[in-house]
Structure 1
Amino acid sequence: MHIVYVSDGKAGHRSQAVGLFKAMQRQSAEHVTFQEVSIENLPVFSLIKGVFQHSLALCSETPDYIFGVGSHTQSRVLLLGKVYPQAKTVILMKPNFPFSWFDHCIIPEHDGVPESKQVITTKGALNPIVNEQRHQSNRLLIALGGSSKRHQWNPAKVLEAIQNIVQQNPQAEIILTTSRRTPKEFLATLKQQQFAKQLSIFPVEDTPQGWIFEQMQKAEAVWVTEDSVSMIYEALTAGCRVGVIMLDRLKKDRITQSVDSILQQGRVSPSTSIPQLPEPAAFKEAERVATYLLAQNN
């Protein structure tokens, strides 16, 4: 089985495609291969030419599935599906085109699209994480984001949350990391606090690729600022207890509603104490989608 992923070069989009591929790889009795093709190497003219030739030199072998994530990939996925009509086209987002034009649309439920023959809804975006059952008691991770189009960074509120986590979990080993959106001056202020002595601080620029996923595999609990929605779902998938550090909201939209929904469902909590966080539960959205796709197309 061969999967061609039409890539727009965005790491977050690639993470979703790789997550689904790896889940299918784990479940399929066949050997599953994955080929990433940049949209820059798929000009529309060459795709139209390929439709008439029923092949494309760029594809190492005939695909069984064609994945796309991101608005700019959608037309390429559709055209590539015309080049290889036996392949199933899978778009991992709410598409701009009619849903019926794709074989499968994998859409986060916060987009408000009901499930149908074409549509599979998911809790959050897919990711490549699995729970490796390596969590260590009293090992905690704090992952900070920053301001976004829907959130305003509140340094006092975040400092208070971190201080509460430290004080309410005195026996814990606490690792803290930042994102590229975290204000540089915040980290300087944090390091001046007395409680910061109990933190092991790793700025994002000092961490190698995959570092935070490894930390999630080891942590008993993870606290994430609410702007980093994908990281909240990654921590849930890793099998951690998950706390949310609330920020000031500039507006309400489908993303903030997604956070509110999992708070109301009791999957995550604003609490800063480990015992008050929800017990980890199986959260395997990529596995569930892979099961459905493989069953549909067998």
Structure 2
Amino acid sequence: MHIVYVSDGKAGHRSQAVGLYKAMQRQSADEVSFEEVLIDQLPIFSLFSGILKKSIAALKQPPDYIFGVGSHTQLRVLLLGHAYPEAKTIILMKPNFPVTWFDYAIIPEHDGVAASEQVIVTKGALNPIINEGRHQANRILIALGGSSKRHQWNEAKVLVAIQQIVNRHPLAEIILTTSRRTPKEFLAHLNEKSFKSQLKIFPVEQTPQGWIFEEMQKAEAVWVTEDSVSMIFEALTAGCRVGIIEIDRLKSDRITQLLDQLLTQALLGENKVKLLNLKMDEATRVSDILLKK
């Protein structure tokens, strides 16, 4: 079985495609191969030409599945599907084109599309993480994001939340990491706080690729700022209990409504905190559905 992934080069999109590929690799009785092709390698004109030839020069071998994530990949996935009519076209998002133009669309439930024969609805975006069962008691990871199109960083709120986590867990090993969106001055301000001595701090610039996924495998609980929705679902998929650190919102939409649902489950009273503890393995579930079909 050969999977071709039409890539726009974005790491978050690639994570979704790789998550589904790895799940299919785990579950399939056949050998599963994966080929990533950048959209720049697939000019539209060459794809129309390839439809007539029933072959695309940029591909190493004919695909059985064609994945796409991101708006700029959708037309290319459709055209590749016409060049290779035996292949299944799978778009991992709410598509701009009619859903019926693809064989399957994998769509997070917050996008508000109903499940159907061609639509598989998921809790959050897919990712390549599995629960490896290596979680260590009293090990906590704090993962900080920053401002986004729907959130505004609030340093005061974040510092209060970190102090509360430290105070609640005096014997825990607490690892804190930032993201590229975390304001540069934040760590300097954190270093001025007395509770900083109880933290092990790893700025994102000092962490190698895959570091945070490994930390999720070791952490018993993970606290994430609410702007980092994908990380919330990654931590849940890793099998961690997950807490959400609230920051300011710039607007309300389906994503913030999803966060409100999660916060309703996560927060109990003013000082008592209940962590999310959801069993989640969406990539495996979706893979099982596709392989059975």
What's the TM-score bracket when you normalise by the shorter of the two chains? over 0.9
CA RMSD of aligned residues (A): 1.5
| Residues 22, 114 of structure 1: alpha-carbon distance in 2 compared, 3 angstrom cutoff | same
Q: Which amino acid aligns with 1:292?
A: I
Counterparts of 1:201 and 1:271, CA distance in 2: 29
Counterparts of 2:124 and 2:224, CA distance in 1: 15
Q: Deviation string for 1:204-246 (max 9, x for gaps)?
A: 0100000000000000000000000000000000000000000
Q: Tell me the residue number matched to 2:275.
A: 277
| Contact 1:168-1:273 at 8 Å conserved across structures | no
Count residues in correspondence: 293
Runs of 4+ with deviation above 3 angstroms:
268-276
Q: Tell me the residue number matched to 1:86.
A: 86
Query: Normalising by the residue count of structure 2, what TM-score does the alignment of the two structures yield?
Result: 0.97
| Residues 116, 275 of structure 1: alpha-carbon distance in 2 compared, 3 angstrom cutoff | same
Report sequence identity in percent: 70
Structure 2, gaps ≥5 residues long: none
Q: Which amino acid aligns with 1:145?
A: G
* 1:56 shift after superposition: 1.2
Which aligned pairs between 1:104-253 and structure 2 lie closer than 5 A?
A: 104-253=104-253
Q: Which amino acid aligns with 2:279?
A: A
Counterparts of 2:14 and 2:274, CA distance in 1: 34
Counterparts of 1:215 and 1:273, CA distance in 2: 27
Counterparts of 2:268 and 2:22, CA distance in 1: 32
* 1:60 shift after superposition: 1.2
Equivalent residue for 1:286, pick from 269, 283, 287: 283
Of residues 149-158 and 3-12 in structure 1, the stretch that sits farther from structure 2 once superposed is 149-158
Counterparts of 1:271 and 1:168, CA distance in 2: 15
Q: Tell me the residue number matched to 2:36.
A: 36
Q: Deviation string for 1:35-93 (max 9, x for gaps)?
A: 00000000001100100000112211110000000000000000000010000000000
Q: Tell me the residue number matched to 2:98.
A: 98
Counterparts of 2:244 and 2:269, CA distance in 1: 8
* 1:273 shift after superposition: 8.6
Counterparts of 1:271 and 1:11, CA distance in 2: 37
Q: Tell me the residue number matched to 1:255.
A: 255
Query: Normalising by the residue count of structure 1, what TM-score does the alignment of the two structures yield?
Result: 0.96
| Contact 2:23-2:284 at 8 Å conserved across structures | yes
Structure 1, gaps ≥5 residues long: none
Q: Which amino acid aligns with 2:274?
A: Q
Of residues 9-18 and 281-290 in structure 1, the stretch that sits farther from structure 2 once superposed is 281-290
